[in-house]
Structure 1
Amino acid sequence: MTLQVSFAKEKTEKKEDSLLKSMCIIGFNYEMELANKVPPKGMSDFTCDCFLDEFNLGTNLDKAQEKCKDKASSIFDL
């Protein structure tokens, strides 16, 4: 029974992460469009993976977003 509950919880968390990443990528693309910039290949995935990692560690949304934007900008030189 514990294994089933654990599996169900993991499946739910993966769905939540997938939804959050999709929303992050939509927001990322929107911000790039507003800034009239074309992001380098892989930048949106890097930024949103970073955001998810930070969020899952308990970092609040604003700080996770700020930290990952800064990190991606320096790595992708944008």
Structure 2
Amino acid sequence: MKSKPITPFRKSSYSGPTQNECVEVATTADGGRAVRDSKDPARGTAYFGPHAWQALLSHIRTARAPREGTPPHS
């Protein structure tokens, strides 16, 4: 069952006020997150439970980390 968002959707602070090419995230009642496209919020929302959200963040951080002997991401 999907948990309803309990906070307003928000964009990254790295996204300027006129940029709509990012995702918006809201906290859900179960401690997970709801994610939607800022360009078309009515299109749908993806829901992540707390454990799935942490796993996603961990994967993103690992994928972005520079590997030994390779230059960092630009």
In the superposition, the TM-score normalised over structure 2's length comes to: 0.30
Between 1 and 2, higher relative CO (CA 8 Å, sep ≥ 6) is seen in 1
Higher helix share: 1
In the superposition, the TM-score normalised over structure 1's length comes to: 0.29
